[in-house]
Amino acid sequence: MKPKIFIDGEHGTTGLQIRTRLSGRADLDMLSIPEAERRNRDLRAAMLKDADIAILCLPDDAARESVAMLDGVNSTRIIDTSTAHRTHPDWAYGFAEMTAGQSEKIAKARLVANPGCYPTGAISLLRPLAETGILPGDYPVTVNAVSGYSGGGKQMIAQMEDKAHPEHIAAPHFLYGLTLAHKHVPEMQAHGLLTRAPIFSPSVGRFAQGMIVQVPLHLADLSGAPQLGDIHAALDAHYAGQSIVEVVPLAESAGLARLDPTALNGTDDMRLYVFGTEGKGQANLVAVLDNLGKGASGAAVQNMTLMLGAA
């Protein structure tokens, strides 16, 4: 029998992306409810219980409600794309390349928390350095990032694109999360192996999708006062053999004058860079990814594939 897949919230930005990716897959039996019935709790519960894998593309509270509907129903496995369960110990974190054995953990899990887009970039840079001991757990990490406006879902897309919208945003670029309490901070701290919360400064640009995440470092404050080559070597060794995460050679990075946040749009790839000048004692680690690809729907489909044993 074909695996039955139900996307709970398939009419939102991430849900639509996943649905498009899976459409035409003859190896899957896609369960669906009409958009007009999306708030029908009984129908949602029936679909959730009938599915082999349920992919939740919902706000946090609604995702928790869906999980509660499946309490005691061990036959349905869950991928949750919300923030609700990303640091919960009973949920496997769905970043397959994060650490050795993570893809196997996802493959065997019943409960998988899909990573956030910003944390995917930040953790990809932090985790290798933390695991090798280069980055002390109490290092004062700063994460700066810019995302395409699709990351804000249908509401922000409308605010950015519709000039008649009552809350139209005309700015070409804006900061948010100004209180330093963004909901992605706990996720970055937990899976980045940090003992203190990072300072996270997110922003949105006037482009639909794409993302750049930056982690600047003072090398003298790291264990062993590493050089740029040491940082690069740690990242390169960590992701050796991975097809999705690419660590760009130092010489290639040194020849770049600018980075385009949209460079990987339409892919599930992520590209990591180490920038700096030898002898200056500073480095800027950068991740480029598609916020709707590896940062959302691409990761969900990758996790589903692992869970179905087809990876």
- Residues acting as catalytic residues: 117
Strands (E), the chain: 4-8, 29-31, 53-56, 77-80, 92-93, 111-113, 142-148, 173-175, 199-205, 211-218, 245-247, 270-275, 282-289
Structure tokens at 288: 């480029």
Which one, of 99, 76, 67, lies nearest residue 5 by Cα?
Answer: 76
SS3 284: strand
Distances (CA, A) of 139 to 133, 223, 243, 293, 303: 11, 10, 30, 30, 31
Letter for the amino acid at 302?
Q
Contact between 120 and 305 under an 8 Å Cβ cutoff? The reply is no
Phi/psi-derived region of residue 149, left when phi > 0, alpha when psi is between -120 and 50, beta in every other case? alpha
